[in-house]
Structure 1
C-alpha cells in the first residue's frame, strides 16, 4: 500500500512525497502585482512538501478579484516569481502555479479603469471580495461576448508560458470555487445561449479549450486542474442542477487531454466534505481519469493516510495547516503537534503570520 511519504511521478514532475501545499491567497503582492519581498522565503520554508501549488495568480489585469494578488502576465511578475521558484528548487521542492481568472467575483476598484468584471452572465454574484476598503461587495459583471473568447484563451496561453519562463514545474488551471471557468460550467450561473451556453458540452467548452491551449503550450504532463463540484463557496452560488453528469464529463475530457492530475475539492470549500442532502460519487470520476488524483478539504493525517493507502487518492492537499506549519511534512511524519494558524494575518501584512511560524528544528 502507498503511504503519504512515498514518491510519486506526477506527469512529467517527480515528487518526493504525496503531501501537497494547497494554493493559498495571502494578499501580500508588491507594486505591479508581483510577488512580495518575503514570498521566496515563505515558499522555500515549505519546500519539503511533495508539491507546492503556489497561490492563485491572475492571468491578466482583468482577471484580478482580490487586493494584492500576484499575477503572471508581465515580465516584471515573471522576474519576481523566478526568485520564488529558485528558492523552492534550492530546497529540493517542486512548485506549480495556479492560473486564475475570477470572472464576476471582483470589484471595479481592482480592475483597469474601473471596468466591470466579465463572466458567463450579467447577473452579479452574491459575494464580497478583498479591496483597499476591506471586504467589499462585488461589482455587477458583463457577459463576455463569444468573439472575446479567443483573446481569453491567449491570456491563458501566455500565463502558462510565463509560468514556465519563471521556473515553475507546471501549472494548475483554477476551475473551482465559482470563479470564471466554473461560472461557465454551472447552469446555476451560465444563462447564455450559443456555443458556450445551454447543455453540458457547451458549458464545458471553455474549460476544455483552456486546458487544450495550455497543454499545447507547455505539455499535458505539466498541467493539472482544480474542480469543486459541490461548493457554493460560502453559500452564495447554487450548485449545478446535475453536478455528477457535468463534472463527470469535464473529468473525462481532461483524461482525453492527458492532464497530469485532477485536484478535487470534496464537498463545500472550507466546510463539510459531505454537505447535508447532497450525494456525489467522486470514485466514479476517479475511475475515468488515468492521471494522479489529488483530494482536498479538511484532511488530517489519519484521513490522508487512509485515502492514499486505499487508492482513493494519490495525493492529499493541505491548506491552513501549511500556513501555520512550514515543516508540515516533518510534523506529520513524527506525529508532532501542529501550530495554530493566526486567522487575523491570513490576508495582507508582512512577516507576521507569514514567515515567522516556529519550526520543530530551527536549525
Structure 2
C-alpha cells in the first residue's frame, strides 16, 4: 500500500473559531494535494471515530474494485448477522442481495451499519473480525499510526480508536489512491427501493465547492465530520472530532475550510517557515513544467510515482523537487482528472534506491511495473 504523509507548517495568523474549543475535541485543516496541515488542535488525541470508520471500509472496497476482485454490478449476500446491525441501517432481509454500487452509496449517503457489515463479510470470508484486522493492517501500511479498528461500521467499542491526524491521512489516501470513486462521497441524495436518503453532511448543500466526505456519531464519540472542498484548482480537507452538536461540527468545519483556502490562495505568503515545503521560491512564482503533459504508452522495467495531484502547478513543483533530489528526468502526466509525477524505465534496484532516498526526505512514493 502507498503511504500518505502530512506536513506541518506554522502560519503568521491568528485563527479564531466561532465556537469554544470546549465544544469539540479535535480539529484540523489540510491541503489535500500536498498533505500540508494548515491548522490543527489536539490532532494526536485519541477519539472514537464512529462512522468515519466507514471511510476505511470503503477504501478496502475500492481496492477490491481496482483489482477486479469485485465489480460495481456484483451482488453481495446479506447474512443473518448483518440484519442485527443497528441503529442506522437499510433494514435488509437475511438472504437478500444488494449490488456493490448500492452498498457504496448506502455507506456514503446513509451510513448504513448493516451494509458495512455486508461488505466486511463478503470481502473477508464471512467474518467481520477478520475484516477489522485487515482494516487496521492496511491503515498502518498507508501511514496511520494510532488507529485500531474493531468493526467495519464504527459502532462503540473501547478499543476502536483513532485521531484527527490519522483520519485526515485515511481520507486523503482515498482521494489519491482511488480518484475514480471519489464521486460517491459527494452524493447528496440516493433513492433505494422507493425510499430516498439524504446525506448527513450538510456542507454539501451549504458550502460552495464542498464535494464530500463523511459524518459520524455515537453517544461516546459525539458528532464528527470529514469535509472536503475545492476552489480555484485547490483541494482542502477539514476534520472535526467530538463536537457537541451537528451545528457545531458544521460551523467549525466551514470555518476551517474558509481558513484553509485563505491560506493557500492568498497572494501574500503567510508561511513563517518557507523551508517546510523544501522550496525557497515565492509562492507567486509559477514553476515551469519539467516535461510535456502526456501518458506513457509503454513501460520498460520499473517506475516510481511521487504523487498524484489535482493541480498542475503543484505537480510541476513536485517534479522539479524530485529532479533536484534524484538528478533524473521526471514526467508529469495526465491520468483522468489528476497529474501524476513519475520516473520511468528503471532497473528494479535503481527504483528501490530512488524511492528510499526520496522517502528519507519526507516525500511519499511507490514503485510500479
Q: TM-score, normalised by structure 1?
A: 0.33
Pair member with larger Rg: 2
